[in-house]
Amino acid sequence: MKLLTHNFLSSRFLKNVNNGYPLILRANQKANKEVEFNEKFVLNMMPKVDYASLYNAALSIGEAGNMPESLPEDWETNVPVLMEVGLRVEYSAWSERMYFLSIHFIRRKGYETTQKGEKTLKNRFIRRIFSWAIM
């Protein structure tokens, strides 16, 4: 599952769930896919993203890098912040990886976990709803 997709998932539709957002992320495998930085995409998506949830999800799987804990007020014009949020540059291989597009969570034998104490969503169910986003 892409990190961006995880940011939009909710479990509010489940019975007896009051607040189903954000889902707690637990991944037993992860894969990174190299993509080019697309500044226009990042600028268009950031207003739609809950940044605190994005940061916590990246932090929970060890991919937060140097992302700031909270998004600065001047994020639209602050190129280093855009690059850090949008990309993680690996200097050893000189490859760029975009957080939104490159971090995929592979949970073939697991569950996507909802808020603490609530039900879990089976991968098959999530795969049916978001088949375009899960690899």
The pLDDT tens digits of the residues spanning 10-29 come to 666 666 666 767 777 776 67
How many other C-beta atoms can be found within 10 angstroms of the C-beta atom of residue 129?
Answer: 12
Distance CA 46, CA 53 (A): 12
Distance CA 46, CA 16 (A): 31
Residue 55's pLDDT is what?
A: 83
Q: Spell out the domain ranges in the chain.
A: 3-129
Low-confidence ranges of the chain (pLDDT < 50): 87-119, 122-135
What single-letter DSSP state applies at residue 91? T
Residue 68's pLDDT is what?
A: 83
What single-letter DSSP state applies at residue 46? G
Residue 12's pLDDT is what?
A: 66
